[in-house]
Amino acid sequence: MKKLSKLIITQMNIRQIPCYVCAYEEDGKVMELRFEPVGEKSSLGNIYVGQIENIAANIGAAFVQISAGEKCYLQLSDAPNAIYASVKKGDRPLKAGDEILVQISREAMKGKLPAVTTNLNFTGKYLVLTTGDKKFGLSSKLSNDDRSRISKWMEAEVNRPDKEFGIIVRTNAADASKEEILKELEYLKGLYHKAAVDGRSRTCFSCVYRTEPFYISAVRDANSRNLEEIITDIPEISRQISDYLNSNSPEEKEKLRFYDDKLLPLYKLYRLETVLEEIQHEKVWLNSGGFLVIQQTEAFVSIDINSGKFTGKKKMQETYRKINLEAAKEIARQLRLRNLSGIILIDFINMEEKESEVQLLKTLDDALRRDPIRTTLVDMTKLSLVEITRMKKERPLHESVGKQS
């Protein structure tokens, strides 16, 4: 059954600081929550003319300045695809002083520098253009029919002998027409030329490409098939979204609604204060009476499932199965909601039946597939310990909340 969703964009104070907040709700539950202080803008996704400060060959990295005193981390494995803004003499490796185009791929986290990549990405609703990998790829979430149809539409572009970039087809393309996809392709080509081609002649530390505000990105990335409504109570943001939809997805404009009720603010209506409170606690109660304990360590995220209020002896294995299945769905939600990433280790309640374990892994895998950030279910050990990996892009939400204090 299709799970209908809403995108809520509002403003509220977080630790006494006014913030824009974007919440993604699915079947009445908030699945994702992002915020940004009013007047600030994340640099994630921005492209700069950076300068190599030094090479640390022992760790396979380089340190790149994107402005005076602002240092970032670059993996040397990226270097062969670097686009040089300075003159490169011969086929030599990167060296200190070289000027190259870099894109911020991960925010600074817990004392770690921001990470940059030379594989520049230009993201649209249906496609992503990439400069490092010039292959053609399709989202694994697309059906075989969708993949076949879209591949035919893109044939001429993919087979061009002089192609300068790769193309990745996103899940949203399943609902797009050929005209919409090719129109977006031309738009992304324009962004690519402005940043990756014209950007080579810009001075060192120039920002050659800025990403749109995070709430516009949320509108762009939302699954069109399931998105029922986009709601905001901020007039200026409503105008920005309206302009964006007019230019990029006119068929979605009817989903935009301006909320104007001074007695019940939007963040109160959707209980966003309660959700913010939830992500700051380690314990999460389940409807079954069990609970999760979520702990962030230096090396990984630990999640423990407990039977909690259940104390009976009858049908114990069946109860454990139900608690584990409920926990699997809630864990997938908590990873998205809290924006937890890296290695995640989950200690499920031990079950005797192999069939129950198979069902549990399928339930967990199905729930994780709904995550827009790349998340992989690795395996389950004999002790019912499950390993998941989730790509790091932004700091966990509890860290961002802590920064507002």
**Local structure of 152: helix, strand or coil:** helix
pLDDT at residue 405, as a whole number: 46
Segment among 55-59, 218-222, 243-247, 379-383 with least mean pLDDT: 379-383
**Region 242-251 average pLDDT:** 91
Please give the Cα distance from 232 to 357 (Å, whole number).
42
DSSP 26-95: ETTEEEEEEEEETT----TT-EEEEEEEEEEGGGTEEEEEEETTEEEEEEGGGGGGPPBSSPP-SS----
Q: Angle at Cα 373 formed by Cα 17 and Cα 101, nearest 5°?
A: 80
Pair 101, 88: CB distance under 8 Å: no
pLDDT at residue 2, as a whole number: 57
Provide the whole-model pTM.
Answer: 0.87
Segment among 83-97, 172-186, 259-273, 334-348 with least mean pLDDT: 83-97
Q: What is the pLDDT of residues 133-172, one digit of tens each?
A: 889 999 988 999 999 999 999 998 888 888 889 999 999 9
- Largest Cα–Cα separation, the chain: 76
pLDDT at residue 313, as a whole number: 55
- Report whether pLDDT(258) > 90: yes
CA atoms within 13 A on the CB side of 68: 1
Question: Which residue(s) pair with 295 in the sheet?
Answer: 302
Please give the Cα distance from 252 to 230 (Å, whole number).
9
Q: How far is CA 221 from the centre of its chain?
A: 9
Please give the Cα distance from 69 to 297 (Å, whole number).
30
52: nearest Cα among 99, 4, 92, 18: 99
